Structure 1
Amino acid sequence: MSQQKVFFPTNIKFLRERKKMSQESLANALSFTRSKLASLESGATRAHQPEDLLMISEFFKVGVDALLKVELSKLGEFKVSQLLAGNDVYTTGSNIRVLSITVDKNNKENVEYVPVKAKAGYRNGYNDQQYISNLPKFTMPNLPERGSFRMFPISGDSMLPIPDGSDVIAEYVQDWKAIKAGTLCILILKAEQDFVFKQITVQEEGQFLLTSLNSLYHPYTVPAEEVIEIWKYYKFQSEILPELPTDFQELKRLILDVKQDIQQERSDKA
C-alpha cells in the first residue's frame, strides 16, 4: 500500500499567507511559539499533536481531514472560498455539510418557515438543530420528493414583479458550482441581517454576481466566502397580484442612472 501524502505543513503556510498573517501573528493567535509554528510549516514536526490539529482547524474553519489530505493551494480560489465558508466535502463525507432539518411523524421532511422576526437570528442558528426544530413547520403538496425545502419571507421592490412581502419556497443547493447563470436564489450571507433574494451567477474568481429582477437596482458582487447557504427558488406565494413596472418606476431608474453617471464623472476628474 502506498503511503498517503500529508499536506498539513504547506496548508498551514498557504492559509496563513492567504490571511496575510505573519508567522508571529498567527503563532500569537494560536498561543504557539513562533518556533513551534515554523517547525509545523517546514514539516520538521512529524508527530502532530491532536490539540494542535484541532486548534488550527478551528482557527481557519477547515476540517482536519482537509488540512491533512488536500493540497489546498491547488484547489483554486473558488473552491477554497467554498471550503472556508463551511462547504467542506472532506469534513462531512458528502457533497457539502449536513443540513439541519425536521421531519413529520411519517419521517417525511417538513418545510420550515423562517418568519420575519427570526430573520436576524437565522444566520447564527441555521446549523443549530434546536433552532431549526423551533421554527414553524408544515407540509406542502406537489413539492418534488427529492431535495430539502424552506420558506423565506422577502421584502422590498428589488425583485418586482414578485411582490414585496411574498413568501419564497426554495430548495437547498448542495453544489454551488452547478448553479446556472441567472438562477433565482435566496442567499444567506454572513454580514447581512436579512435574506438576499436575487438572480445569481457564479464567477470564476470566487465571486457571486447578484442581479435584481427590477432594473432600477444595479447588479453587485459578493465573495463566495461570505455566503453561508444558497436556496434555489421553486415558487412563491403572495396575497398581492404581481404588477408590471410603471412609468414612474422607469423614470426613477433613469434618474438613478443619470445620478450614477454624474458621480462617476466626478470620480474620474478627481
Structure 2
Amino acid sequence: MSQQKVADDLRISRGQYQKYEDGNSEAPYQILIRISQYYNVTTDLLLTADLTKVSLDGMIKIGQNRMLLPVMVDAENNDAIEIVPQAAKAGYTSGYADPEYIGNLPIISLPFLGAGKHRAFPVEGDSMPPHEDGSFIVGKYVEGFGEIRDGKTYIVVTKDDGIVYKRLNKNGKNALVLHSDNSFYEPYQVKASDIIEIWEYVCNIGRNDQKMEHTTDTVTSLLIEMRKELREVKAKIQ
C-alpha cells in the first residue's frame, strides 16, 4: 500500500505518516492506537520489536484479530512449544513480546496437548512441591482474568517478580492472590496492572522418576511447623 493510502485510512496527512514510518517523529498515543488497530499489531510490539525481521503470520491472534504473542512453528508448520531455559528466564519480562527473542528459544512438540498456545517455563525453588527445582511447567496461554479458576495453578509473569508458578485466587476484578503449596511461604497479592502474562498449568516435565516429598529436609520441616505455630499464636492474640 502507498503511504498516501495508509495516511488517508488513518485520517492524517501523508507527510505526517511519512515522519512516523521513517522514524523522524514519534506518533502521539491516539495515532499509535490507530496504527496498532490498522495493522493488527499490539502497541507493545510496535514500540519494542523490530517487525521487519519477522512475519506477522508467526504471531498468535487473540481477541479482535489483534496479534499479541510471537509464536514459533515446527517443520510441519504446526504450533511449537517454546522452552524458556533457566539461562533465558531473567530476560523473559523484556523479551516476551520480541519475535527475535522468542525465535531464539528452543522448541518441542507435544501433539496431545490439543488446541491453544503453550509454552514451557522453568521451576525454581521449593514453594510448589512435588515439582522439583529444575523441572519445567508447560502452560496454556490465558487471555483474561475470566478464564482463571480459583485454586488452580498457573505460571504468572509479572514486572517485578518475573516468572513464578503459584496457585491463584481472584481477589475482586483487579488483583490476584498467589499461594504456594509449601506452607512455609506466605500468600501475596499482585495487581492486574503488574501482570504481563498468565499460563494455565497443563503438564510437568520432570528430571527424575523418584517420589517427591513435600519436604526432604528435617530442618525445613521443623521451620514449617514453627511457622504454623506462630500463626496460631498470632490468631489467638488478635
**In angstroms, what is the RMSD of aligned CA positions?**
3.8
Q: Indicate if the aligned counterparts of 2:123 and 2:131 stay in contact, CA closer than 8 A.
A: no
Displacement after TM superposition at 1:135 (Å): 0.6
Structure 1 residues 63 and 202: alpha-carbon distance in aligned structure 2, compared to 1, 3 A threshold:
farther
2:138 to 142, 160, 169: 169
Q: Which residue of 2 aligns with 1:216?
A: 184
1:71-112 CA distance string (max 9 Å, x none): xxxxxxxxxxxxxx99xxxxx752875211011232201110
More strand by percentage:
2
Question: Residues 160 and 242 of structure 1 are in contact (CA less than 8 Å); yes or no, is this contact kept in structure 2?
Answer: no
Distance 1:123 1:154 in 2: 16
- Give, as a single letter, the amino acid of the residue that structure 2 aligns with 1:109: D
User: What residue is the counterpart of 1:232 in the other structure?
Assistant: 200
Q: TM-score, normalised by structure 2?
A: 0.68
Q: Which runs of 5+ in 2 are unaligned?
A: 1-10, 18-25, 37-43, 46-61
Q: Which runs of 5+ in 1 are unaligned?
A: 1-46, 67-84, 87-91
Q: Which residue of 1 aligns with 2:70?
A: 100
Measure how far apart 1:56 and its partner are: 4.0
Cα distance, 1:213–1:95 mapped onto 2, change above 3 Å: farther
Give the 3-state SS of the residue equivalent to 1:252 in structure 2: helix
Q: Is the 8 A contact 1:113 1:135 kept in 2?
A: yes
Mapping of residues 1-270 of structure 1, within 5 Å: 54-56=27-29, 63=33, 94=64, 98-144=68-114, 146-192=115-161, 194-240=162-208, 241-246=210-215, 248-258=219-229
- For the residues of structure 1 that align with 2:236 and 2:30, how far apart are their CA atoms? 47
**2:212 partner amino acid:** E
Q: What is the aligned-residue identity percentage? A: 31
TM-score, with length taken from structure 1: 0.61
1:172–1:232 CA contact under 8 A, matched in 2: yes
1:10-42 C-alpha deviation (Å, 9 max, x unpaired)? xxxxxxxxxxxxxxxxxxxxxxxxxxxxxxxxx
Local SS of the residue matching 2:28: helix
Post-superposition offset of 1:123:
0.7
Q: Secondary structure of the equivalent of 2:128?
A: coil
CA 1:257–1:111 in 2, change beyond 3 Å: closer, same or farther?
same
